Chain A
């Protein structure tokens, strides 16, 4: 009898906590949505997905790295939120990320790439917001500057640009 009561009480607290945290963690985007995170999310904000505008993304933990890439000329600086900060913000859990571009190109990325590497979703190239013509609005950038071993085709193919959506898979 006592045990059943305790269970109920815990469920109540858990559900109230869930509600409070989702309300606290992720506001609805105010500007144009540039990224939608789908999948099992703890902090969804719009219809079970986590949607972000530029401002929301740029508020998250991020980094700026100066590096050479196969797609740019010379040293280029990329800045943007860390991929793991975005996933945390969305409360996403899973093992695989499907990163989808505007032209429906997609790449499968293991979650470790987000957790163990300082991978960012670059919002800016050389300090300027990237247009679609300039591979914007978001560009998945591996830290080629921090680990030269990443500079190969395996990671080039995972470096999706013109990103519109990340689906977190179990």
Chain B
């Protein structure tokens, strides 16, 4: 497509200009033709010729009657005038001549010639002659005929006859001339008309040619438009594919970022559970907060990618609105308190439906987002979370308001809200940070609910963000779930747990949590290994990662649920970072018991384990004594063998529980010691290293972890690096994992 011939537009324009010109030309020609036609029809229509013909006829008649009179007069004179009948005959003849004369004089006939003076004078001459004869003929019947000079009468009648004859000849000549003249004029007119008709035909021909050209241009334009539309479709598809690829990439990258981040946060949470020095604890909190903020940001981006990808799905679960509101408020309270802001919860006294069917995760997401914004833009004020319900057309609508006493938003800023990547102004992003996607995601989610979202605000007086969604009332569930009471976990009877998880760090996190809850687990790094374990041993619970190499969680679950399988009835809980509704369905379809989104929190894990009752065990041997249950990735076999010896030793002396306590204490101490090493390293207090490593060596040796003891001893003798500490901590964690199994 070159700009010179876009759709052959120039051709069409030229052709239509020609057509227009031809049309004008055609109309002019048609006008001329019509005027010629009118002219011709006027000439023919006004009876001019007919009148002249009649005039000729009248002149002829007059001449004939004059001759007749002369003839009769001759006869009568020869035969004698005395006979009355003869006289009457003459009188009649004269009357006829007179009437003919009268016709010529009175009627319109003479007008045909009136323009010609010669005709007029000749006519007058004839009239005079007749008038002179009149007195004689009028009295012919009464007078004595002797007084009539017949010779005189005869000569006058003869003169009359000659005059009328001359008039006839003259008018005839005149008529012929005029007829010829007329014919010439009509012929000229006809020629003119013929010419015009020719020109008209030519212009019609040109019009047809022009129209054909125009038509061809239009056809060409249509064809090129079609081609262009096709090109556009192709480009659109390419762009669409690119966009999809981008969304896919974002989802993948988000997942890739989230996995290590989850590990960081999990480790930090574990770290916080330990007795740490105050300064270290505050640093750990900073790490956790930063990590959480990073996770929020990534989650927002991922949510937005999902929305763009059209993958945002809502589920329907029973939700207790009171606990939803209170939990959400509770989650924000920490951050609010730091900003000196109070969080108030304002709930209705009477509910239309306190328990509703909705997606609690998404509702909470929107509420948290609005509250997080409110807290962000309010310092030393109050953020109120308000819920109201209304019944509209037999539908229950939930209205949630988040009111703050913050900086407020002006008219201009309000327009920009809810638009992707936009913040009220650039200074906002500098001062407060954020992706600018939060409200867009909220709007998308509320739209998906079929609800509305909005804001009322004025600068300096705070803002009220609100959303309304239709909800379905439901029965209150029999037992209240999700009552999170962090850090106060009831003890749980030891369970036989199989953890199928390929990611080392995730393994460590979950094992750490489990150990905190007094549990151990067998670790399988993929579905295949998990199946092998499950065929040899009974389990109370299997935690199954969805995505694993060799065999994924879905396939492994399918095999485990085989009627011939040893553990066919064991609860299997899916673990995945990709918590979409589709994944959930696939998990349930293959027979998974429930579903846990990663990262799993300590509380959630506790709640999960609480619901599992251990089956009566047939095997008496300890899991850790089974060589198959050792972690194949971390196989310090001789180390573990040493531990087993030591354990035997301690159990023999102090009883079975004593060794467990000792081991737990070691790992607690080990974490503390490692922390101290790290802090010392940061602060540059090298003098502490030796003592700390010594303590570690002693503690490790105490429970038979000779390799760790040896490592600590080796490190005492040389310059310590951060990598060394890392290696050491990994070794400890590996041992912990191995022992926990």
On whether A103 and B96 interact (CB within 8 A), knowing A70-B54, A153-B50, the answer reads yes
Q: Which of B51, B103, B109 contacts A135 (CB 8 A)?
A: B103
B102 A133 Cβ-Cβ under 8 A: yes
Q: Is the CB of B95 within 8 A of A133?
A: yes
Is there an interface contact between A72 and B106, defined as CB atoms closer than 8 Å? yes
Q: Decide if A132 touches B51 in the complex (CB within 8 Å).
A: no
| Minimum C-beta distance from A152 to chain B (A) | 8
Question: For window 45-93 of chain B, which residues contact chain A by CB distance below 8 Å?
Answer: 50-51, 53-54, 61, 64-65, 68, 92
- 17 pairs, A vs B, C-beta closer than 8 Å: A70-B51, A70-B109, A73-B107, A102-B92, A102-B96, A103-B64, A132-B95, A133-B95, A133-B98, A133-B99, A134-B99, A134-B102, A135-B99, A153-B50, A153-B53, A161-B99, A162-B99
From 139 to 162 in chain A, residues with beta carbon under 8 angstroms from any chain B beta carbon are 153, 156, 161-162
Query: By the criterion CB–CB under 8 Å, are A156 and B54 in contact?
Result: yes
Q: In the complex, which residues of chain A have a beta carbon less than 8 angstroms from the beta carbon of B65?
A: 103
- B108 on interface, CB distance cutoff 8 Å: yes
Q: Which of the residues A72, A132, A134 comes within 8 Å of B107, measured between beta carbons?
A: A72
Number of interface residues of B (CB under 8 A): 19
Smallest CB–CB gap between A126 and chain B, Å?
13
- Collect the chain A residues with CB atoms within 8 Å of residue B50's CB: 153, 156
Which residue of chain B is the closest to A103 with respect to CB atoms?
A: B96
Contact residues in B for A135 (Cβ distance below 8 Å) = 99, 103
Interface residues of A in 10-43 (CB under 8 A from B): none
Q: Collect the chain B residues with CB atoms within 8 Å of residue A95's CB.
A: none
| Chain B, Cβ-Cβ closest to A73 | B106
Residues of chain B within 8 A of A102, CB atoms compared = 92, 96
What is the bound-complex CA distance between A72 and B68, given in angstroms?
Answer: 25
**Contact between chains at A132 and B108 (CB < 8 Å):** no
Instruction: Confirm or deny: A5 has a beta carbon within 8 angstroms of a beta carbon on chain B.
Output: no
User: C-beta contact mask, B169-185 vs A, less than 8 Å → 1, else 0?
Assistant: 00000000000000000
Closest 4 CB pairs of A and B: A132-B95, A133-B98, A133-B99, A71-B107
* Bound complex: CA A134 to CA B98 (Å): 9
Question: In whole angstroms, what is the CA distance A134 to B107 when docked?
Answer: 12
Asked if residues B108 and A162 are in contact (CB atoms below 8 Å), the reply is: no
- Tell me if A131 and B103 are in contact (CB < 8 A): no
**Interface residues of A, Cβ cutoff 8 Å to B:** 70-73, 102-103, 105, 131-135, 153, 156, 161-162
Distance (whole angstroms) from the CB of A91 to the closest CB of chain B: 30
A161 to B107, alpha carbons, bound, how many Å? 14
User: Nearest residue in A to B99 (C-beta to C-beta)?
Assistant: A133
Given the complex of chains A and B, what is the CA–CA distance between A156 and B53 in angstroms? Answer: 12
Give the shortest distance, in Å, between B91 (CB) and chain A (any CB): 9
Nearest CB in chain B to that of A132: its residue: B95
Could you say which residues of chain B place their CB within 8 Å of the CB of A71?
Answer: 103, 106-107
CB distance from A161 to the nearest CB of B (A): 8
Q: Give the contacting residue for B96; candidates A70, A72, A132; CB below 8 A.
A: A132
Please encode chain B, from 92 to 120, with 1 for each CB lying within 8 Å of some chain A CB and 0 for all others.
10011011001100111100000000000
Report the minimal beta-carbon distance from A57 to chain B, rounded to whole angstroms.
20
In the assembled complex, which residues on chain A have CB atoms less than 8 Å from the CB atom of B96?
102-103, 132, 162
Determine how close the nearest CB of chain A comes to the CB of B56; give it in whole angstroms.
13
Q: Is the CB of B102 within 8 A of A70?
A: no
Whether A70 and B108, one on each chain, are in contact in the complex, defined by CB atoms closer than 8 angstroms, is yes
Task: Indicate with 1 or 0, residue by residue over B15-53, a CB within 8 angstroms of chain A CB atoms.
Answer: 000000000000000000000000000000000001101
Q: Looking across the interface, which residue of chain B has its beta carbon closest to that of A153?
A: B50
**Closest residue of A by beta carbon distance from B65:** A103
Expressed in whole angstroms, the Cα–Cα distance for A105 and B107 within the complex equals 19
Give the complex CA separation of A72 and B102 in angstroms.
10
Closest partner residue, chain A, to B109 (CB atom):
A70
The minimal Cβ–Cβ distance linking B492 to chain A, given in whole angstroms, is: 123
B109 cross-chain contacts in A, Cβ below 8 A = 70
Known: A102-B92, A133-B95. 15 other contacts (CB 8 A): A70-B108, A70-B109, A71-B106, A71-B107, A72-B106, A73-B106, A73-B107, A103-B64, A103-B65, A103-B68, A103-B96, A132-B96, A134-B102, A156-B54, A162-B96
Minimal beta-carbon separation of A107 from chain B (angstroms): 13
Name the distance in Å between B33's Cβ and chain A's nearest Cβ.
Answer: 27
A131→B91 CA distance, assembly (Å): 13
Cα distance, A29 to B108, chains bound together (Å): 37
Q: Which A residues are in CB contact (< 8 Å) with B51?
A: 70
Query: What is the CB-to-nearest-CB distance from A85 to chain B, in angstroms, rounded to a whole number?
Result: 26
- Tell me, rounded to whole Å, the shortest Cβ–Cβ distance linking A98 to chain B: 19
Q: Which residues of B contact A156 (CB under 8 A)?
A: 50, 54
Task: Determine how close the nearest CB of chain A comes to the CB of B98; give it in whole angstroms.
Answer: 5
- Residues of the B chain whose Cβ atoms lie less than 8 Å from the Cβ of A153: 50, 53-54
A135 and B96 CA atoms in complex are apart in Å by 8
B108 nearest CB neighbor, chain A only: A70
Q: Which residue of B lies closest to A68 (CB)?
A: B108
Chain A residues within 8 Å of B92, by CB: 102, 132
Closest residue of chain B to A105 (Cβ to Cβ) is B61
Across the interface, name the chain A residue whose C-beta is closest to B51: A70
| Chain A residues, CB < 8 A from B102 | 133-134
Query: Chain B's nearest CB lies how many Å from the CB of A140?
Result: 15
Complex CA gap A153/B68 in Å reads 26
Q: Is the CB of B95 within 8 A of A131?
A: yes
- Shortest B468–chain A CB gap in Å is 86
User: CB-CB < 8 A to A134: which residues of B?
Assistant: 99, 102
Distance in Å: Cβ of A83 to nearest Cβ of chain B: 22
Q: Please report the C-alpha to C-alpha distance between residue A162 and residue B51 in the assembled complex, in whole angstroms.
A: 21
Complex Cα gap A153–B99 (Å): 21
CB distance from B541 to the nearest CB of A (A): 117
Nearest-CB distance from B703 to chain A (Å)?
Answer: 139
Please measure, in the bound complex, the distance between the C-alpha atom of A58 and the C-alpha atom of B61, giving whole angstroms: 30
User: In the complex the two chains form, what is the Cα distance from A71 to B109 in whole Å?
Assistant: 8
| Central interface residue in B64, B96, B102, by most chain A CB within 10 Å | B96
Chain B residue at minimal CB-CB distance from A135:
B99
Q: How far is the CA of A105 from the CA of B61 in the complex (A)?
A: 10
Whether the Cβ atoms of A70 and B107 lie closer than 8 Å is yes
* Residue of chain A at shortest CB distance from B98: A133
> In the complex the two chains form, what is the Cα distance from A102 to B68 in whole Å?
12
Q: Which positions 501-552 of chain B face chain A at CB distance < 8 Å?
A: none
What are the residues of chain B within 8 A of A103 when measuring CB–CB?
Answer: 61, 64-65, 68, 96
Contacts of B68 in A (CB 8 A): 103
Q: Which A residues lie within 8 Å of B61 (CB)?
A: 103, 105
Tell me the smallest distance from the CB of A128 to a CB of chain B, in Å: 15
Taking the closest CB of chain A, its distance from the CB of B49, in whole angstroms, is 10
Q: How far, in Å, is A153 (CB) from chain B's closest CB?
A: 5
Q: How far is the CA of A102 from the CA of B91 in the complex (A)?
A: 12
Interface string of B709-728 (1 = CB under 8 A from A): 00000000000000000000
A105: chain B residues at CB < 8 Å are 61
State the CA gap A134–B96 with chains docked (Å): 9
Q: How far is the CB of A148 from chain B (nearest CB, A)?
A: 13
Contacts of A133 in B (CB 8 A): 95, 98-99, 102
Chain A: minimal CB distance from B442 (Å): 91
What A residues does B108 contact at CB under 8 A? 70, 73
What are the residues of chain A within 8 A of B106 when measuring CB–CB?
71-73
| Nearest opposing residue in chain A for B64, CB measure | A103
Q: What separation, in Å, do the CA atoms of A43 and B106 have in the docked complex?
A: 40
Chain A residues with CB under 8 Å of B107's CB are: 70-73
Complex Cα spacing A103 to B98, Å: 12
- How many whole Å from A149's CB to the nearest CB in chain B? 14
